[in-house]
Amino acid sequence: MTMTTSKKGQNPVLLWFRKDLRLDDNHALQAAATSGRPVVPIYIREPEVDGNGPLGAAQEWWLHHSLAALQKALGTLNSGLILRQGDPLAVLEKLIAETGAETIVWNRRYDPAGIAVDTQVKKILRDNGIEANSFAGQLLHEPTRLRTGAGGHYKTYTPFWRAFEQSGEPPFPIEAPEKLLAPNHWPKSDTLASWSLLPIRPNWASEFPDTWTPGEAAALEKLKDFIDGALDDYAVGRDFPDTPATSLLSPHLALGEISPARIWHATRGLSGKIPTDDIIRFRKELVWREFCYHQLFHFPKLRTANWNDRYDDFPWLSDARRLKSWQRGQTGYPIVDAGMRQLWRHGWMHNRVRMIAASFLIKDLLIDWREGEAWFRDTLVDADPAANTANWQWVAGSGADASPFFRIFNPVLQGEKFDPDGGYVRTFVPELSKLDSKYIHRPFEAPDDVLRRAGIELGKHYPRPIVDHAVARQRALAAHASLKNDG
């Protein structure tokens, strides 16, 4: 049968994948699979919005491999994945014309640019007689679901968490379908290689595969490993960057290779009916993700504007040299440099170290948090439009329920507290690997003979601190005090 002879009822359903690159717990997929019609799964590489690519470079590396994995997984359902690029509405209209589709389904996304696109697409397609249906599943609950007693949105985490807990269990995940009906005629697809998502020269992602396996299968495996292992010590272990105590699920979540509902419900029943401290702690992190989307939904400018406009007059410094030192992990503070180099090598940084590195940029260097947000967005494989922006504002003090600005991390003390033996530093700052643990977080205070024995000449093998923390702290407090005191 050819396209032109296909009868009504055999018109395919377009299944539009976005940041939901999975078969498990996928409601749009479920709707397509149970429609009784052939399904044409598609992925559209969308153009830049707001002068920023939708994805940073590290996440494009991930996307490449994730799409390859999804293509393969769809193959096991006797289906496939059509790749197109361009303005989504134009691409969809073309695909509708090519396939005769009368229905399109997708899972909702919650970043402002995505919402704007989807709202327009849905309206225009519906005006043209196309059935366009969207589904939930990227969050545990829709960002509009929880309301304060006064009917507004939450501005602090603890009441949000309480309301979340009291509002009932998140929906249970659904299983992947076993089969999809293939169309009689597959539309043309771009090749994945033609999108050039992988870095070529220099290949800064060369070590990513040692750390990461993108794709749904690896995500589910990682979840199982975490539940069976590290979750048991999560509440304490999560703060120690040299300990494998975190889930490592963030990049999988960021592109929707695994659903938060799947994760949430996987943590039940480990120790009877009552969740342990470790489980609660972990679930609270999932709910922080929800809280970040809650903020972004109700304050769409979150990436570019201070949530608290009191910070609009903050006297940030422009300092390209120091910004570059921070980006390259050459600040002279080992815990900061280890974190920034882990970010570059693995596309990921341990959460505790993210806070330390972010505090250093904002408070020790007085560089605008937006510079940090942009760098993380480009280099993190788990970059998320809500979490990345909300968390930078959290450190800066400008965000919702943010850390007070006067909470300034001392990078030496933080290193000594959370990386006491310096194992994390030695891994990512190898030039310090032979330094005594006593000085591993303060090489600038090490006696000459200690440095000599470790083969280190400060200023040559490893930088002296680019700022004196005690001085920088005072400068930061003074800068903060210069703001109008209205809250």
Partner DNA sequence: TGCCGGTTAAC
Partner DNA sequence: TTAACCGGC
Active site residues: 285, 288, 316, 351, 369, 392
Coarse DSSP helix, strand, coil percentages of the chain, rounded to the nearest 5 percent: 50, 5, 45
Q: Of 246, 267, 393, 414, which lies in the binding site for DNA, with binding defined by CB under 7 A?
A: 414
Q: Does 225 help bind DNA (rule: CB under 7 A)?
A: no
Distances (CA, A) of 114 to 54, 57, 76, 374, 425: 9, 19, 30, 18, 39
> Interface residues for DNA in 35-94 (CB under 7 A)?
none
The DSSP code sequence of 206-275 is TTHHHH---SHHHHHHHHHHHHHTGGGGHHHHTT-TTS--S---HHHHHTTSS-HHHHHHHTTTSSSSSP
Distances (CA, A) of 39 to 179, 186, 467: 10, 10, 59
DSSP H stretches of helix in 102-215: 112-127, 157-166, 208-211
Q: Does 274 help bind DNA (rule: CB under 7 A)?
A: no
Provide the minimum distance between the beta carbon of 256 and DNA in the complex, in angstroms, as a whole number.
22
Question: Which one, of 70, 86, 58, lies nearest residue 26 by Cα?
Answer: 70
Q: Of 154, 375, 409, 428, which lies in the binding site for DNA, with binding defined by CB under 7 A?
A: 409
On whether 103 is known to bind a ligand per the annotation, the reply is no
Q: Does 407 help bind DNA (rule: CB under 7 A)?
A: yes
Q: Answer yes or no: are the C-beta atoms of 401 and 382 closer than 8 Å.
A: no
Q: Does 479 help bind DNA (rule: CB under 7 A)?
A: no
Applying CB under 7 A, which part among 20-28, 214-222, 369-377, 400-408 lies near DNA? 400-408
Applying CB under 7 A, which part among 162-170, 181-189, 406-414, 437-445 lies near DNA? 406-414
Applying CB under 7 A, which part among 66-74, 258-266, 373-381, 404-412 lies near DNA? 404-412
On whether 249 is known to bind a ligand per the annotation, the reply is yes
Q: Answer yes or no: are the C-beta atoms of 278 and 235 closer than 8 Å.
A: yes
What is the length of the chain? Answer: 487
Provide the minimum distance between the beta carbon of 481 and DNA in the complex, in angstroms, as a whole number.
6
Site string for DNA, 354-393 (x = CB under 7 A): -x--------------------------------------
Tell me how far apart the alpha carbons of residues 422 and 30 are, in angstroms, rounded to a whole number.
Answer: 48
Q: Detail the residues annotated as belonging to a binding site for FAD.
A: 234, 246-250, 282, 382-384
Q: Which residues bind DNA (CB under 7 A)?
A: 157, 239, 285, 288, 351-352, 355, 403-404, 406-410, 413-414, 417, 469-470, 473, 477, 480-481
